[in-house]
Amino acid sequence: MPRRKVAPDAVVVKPTPKHAAGSLDASHPMLGGRKISPLHADGRVPVYTNMQDFLRDFGHVAAEPTIDGICHTLAERARGARSKEFTNAVAWVNDVLVGTREEMGAETWNAVLSNRMDELLHDIVLRDDFLDESPPAVEDTLKCLVGVCQSVEMRANRKAEANAARRIMSRVPSVLQHFWDHRTRLYLRDDECPRTGTDPITILVTVYGLIYKMTNTSFPIILPQFMIHLWVNSTRRTQSLDDLLWSHRLTVNSMKARELFDENAYTHVTLVDGVGVDAYLARIVAELQRPDITIRGIEGCLASLKDLILDLSLRPAIEKHGVMPVVAKTLDVQGRWPKEDALRANVYKEASHILSWWTQKYFADLSAIDRSEVTARGGDVVDFLVRGLDLVAEGFHRMDKDDRHELRKDIQEYCIVATRMSNDPRPPVRVFLAGMKARARDEWWPCLSRLQSSPHRSDQREKLYSVLVDRWMDYGRALGFDAEKEQKRHKSVAKSRCTWRGCGYNTRAPPGKLLACKGCGEVQYCGRECQKSDWAQGGHKQHCGTRVKT
């Protein structure tokens, strides 16, 4: 008799004496007292093509445990009993129930709510011996709680879920205080809990914040404080942490809208007396330089800094950590075409505010006491003005009206500053002016050229476009530039610049030798990545006489 063919990844299970009767009593409460039938009615051996079905019929968590049975096991653990059944239960909920909650049936979800699984999980998490469980069991338990809370948050407009949301919010202060009391034992590093690259506590705290926001409920002060603790101390730099910082900003902004919130007091309690200003600023600087930081991460860091710079007592620490050069670099990299429009506009909005405010305070110090405890760089001013004008050249829809008018005022202000500086002999002023002139020498004419050649110039209904062009020309003249001479000079140095417009060395001298295009020989690049980008996005594919392999 020929052998039966099965799928390569199939699991073939042969009956054992234990299974010979065709059914097995499931007496454990987790199984709901039901029976399983591992054999087909005709006695044939079943063939499984996935492990979940196999475990359903033959595993230690068999026959799809009932929610009632799962909650019975959770209740036992909440009362202090420790058993393998608890580990199995949270693993099953995490892998099966939570992993497919979007497809969860109404009956199953209603059982989760009626059994108050959220309360049982919170009871377990609040036990002093909870962190004595194995790291996978701790992680699975927290993920179960995350899954239930996320499902409640997504359905919080319904009565049963609204009741569950209130139960969850009533537990948040005590849970976060418990986490804080045991913070040295939390799994915040990859080497402590290597199962995944994410920290479920981070996601849980983020979801807590979303529930408060969804239900329009006042946040407990410990929530944003613990968010910052997690964000600063976790070494798992993943999207969930970027989301956490973004959620922290939403939380603080919501609290700021309430009359009793004192932001300065919050900053000092959370940073100065909490995680520490140095640790917080060092983390922001490191994050802004992280290659894989997300849009939310960038926006969260910049928004946090925008609030911090308003506290004059923190200025020395901000100076010590070199925050402003990093903000300027972030604007130069993330605010430059062809980055996504929304990212560029948001980065410009936040970074330009930070750099402009910092520079204004620098000059206010010089005017008042003839010195400043911080420094400002003239080149940074040019960078944020150019990034804003580039957004204008590509269409006003990329900036809101307030930002456009702020840009106009900034250009006018620095025209005045440049004029007044020209006769100021003080060394700090001379250094600032020299930096501004050096950067403008690279950027002023190319930016003016883009403004003048923009197809959007004639489409503007507002007069602001032409006003901005005129102000930019005034700024160049204040720095001693002549448009015609600068045009000729830039044309002559074009061969020593990277052709790819998105490269920072498109307008300034690169540190190394440029590579000419092998197809036409008329353009040059810093390296292969710039050449590939210009070919795909910069239009060189259409202009090059020979199609080259990039």
355 Cβ partners below 8 Å, 6+ apart? 324, 327, 328, 331, 380, 381, 383, 384
Domain coordinates in residue numbering, the chain: 11-58, 355-496, 512-550
Lowest mean pLDDT among 89-103, 189-203, 286-300, 515-529: 189-203
Q: Measuring CA to CA, how many Å separate 21 from each of 36, 45, 189?
A: 11, 13, 49
Cβ pair 131, 138 in contact under 8 A:
yes
Query: Does 14 score more than 80 pLDDT?
Result: no
Output the CA torsion 531→532→536→537 (10° steps).
Answer: -60
Say yes or no to pLDDT of 289 above 50.
yes
> In the chain, pLDDT over 90 holds for what percent of residues?
36
- 68: left (phi > 0), else alpha (psi -120 to 50), else beta? alpha
CA angle 144/148/154 to nearest 5° reads 140
More confident of the two residues 211 and 46: 211
Of 108, 97, 104, 109, residue with least CA distance to 158: 109
- Interatomic CA distance for residues 439 and 418, integer angstroms: 13
Indicate the average pLDDT of the chain: 81
> What average pLDDT does this structure show over 124-142?
91
pTM of the model: 0.75
CB 88 within 8 A of CB 65: no
Task: Provide mean pLDDT across the span 339-345.
Answer: 81
Average pLDDT of the residues in 131-135:
88
Q: How far is CA 157 from its chain centroid?
A: 27
- The pLDDT of residue 369: 67
Element housing 25 (H / E): strand 24-25
For residue 9, pLDDT beyond 90? no
The answer to whether 385 and 328 are in contact (CB under 8 A) is no
Return the minimum-mean-pLDDT range out of 14-28, 192-206, 300-314, 402-416.
14-28
Which has more pLDDT, 21 or 159? Answer: 159
Helices 378-393, 341-369: axis angle to 10 degrees equals 150
Helix (H) or strand (E) holding 229: helix 222-233
What confidence score (pLDDT) does residue 520 get?
82
User: Is residue 1 pLDDT above 50, yes or no?
Assistant: no
Beta bridge partners of 47: 12
Residue 54 scores a pLDDT above 60: no
Provide the β-strand partners of residue 524. Answer: 516
Which of these ranges, 79-83, 444-448, 481-485, has the smallest mean pLDDT? 79-83
